[in-house]
Amino acid sequence: MKIFDTTFLIDLIKGDEGALQKAKEIDAEGTFKAISVVTVHEYLRGIYYLFSHDKELLKTKLEKAEAELIRFEIMPYTYETAKTAAEIDAQLALNGQTISFSDTIIAATALHYKLTLVTRNIAHFSRVPNLQIENY
C-alpha cells in the first residue's frame, strides 16, 4: 500500500523516467495507490498559478488533472492525521530539522494509514521517524 508525494505526481506527469518506471512497477503489483488531499491542493494550485491567464487552457488543464487524480485514493486531512502531524512537527522542530507544513501532513497521513511513501525527496522525509519510504 503506497502513498505518493506531490513531487512524484508532478514527475509522473512530466514523464520522468524514474517516476514512470515506479508507476509501472506499482501498477503491476496491483497495490493500493493513494495521495494526500494536500498533494491535490499543491498540484491544483500549480495549475491555477500557471494557467489562470487563459480561461480555456485552464479549463482544459483542470479537466486533465481531474482525470489524473482519479487514479488515486485521496486521503483526507482528519483530526487523527493533524494530531500525528503536530507531533512530527514538534519533534522535528525540537531537533532543528523542520520540513514544510505540506510534507509534514503527507508524512503524517502515511504514518496514520500505515502506507509507504513514494518520493524522491529523501532529504526531507527521512527526518520523520518510523516513516516507510520508497525512492524512485
The Cα 133–Cα 119 span in angstroms is 7
Q: What is the mean pLDDT of each run of 10 residues along the chain (136 residues)?
A: 95 93 93 96 96 97 94 96 98 96 98 97 95 96
pTM over the 0.85 mark: yes
Domains by residue range for the chain, with CATH? 2-134 (3.40.50.1010)
Computed from CA positions of residues 31, 112, 123, 37, in that sequence, does the dihedral angle turn out positive or negative?
positive
Residue type, 126: S
Question: DSSP class of residue 76?
Answer: P
Which pLDDT score, from 0 to 100, does residue 115 have? Answer: 97
**CA-CA-CA-CA torsion sign (10, 13, 17, 20):** positive
Task: Give the per-residue pLDDT at 65.
Answer: 94
What is the rounded distance in angstroms from the CA atom of residue 8 to the CA atom of residue 24? 13
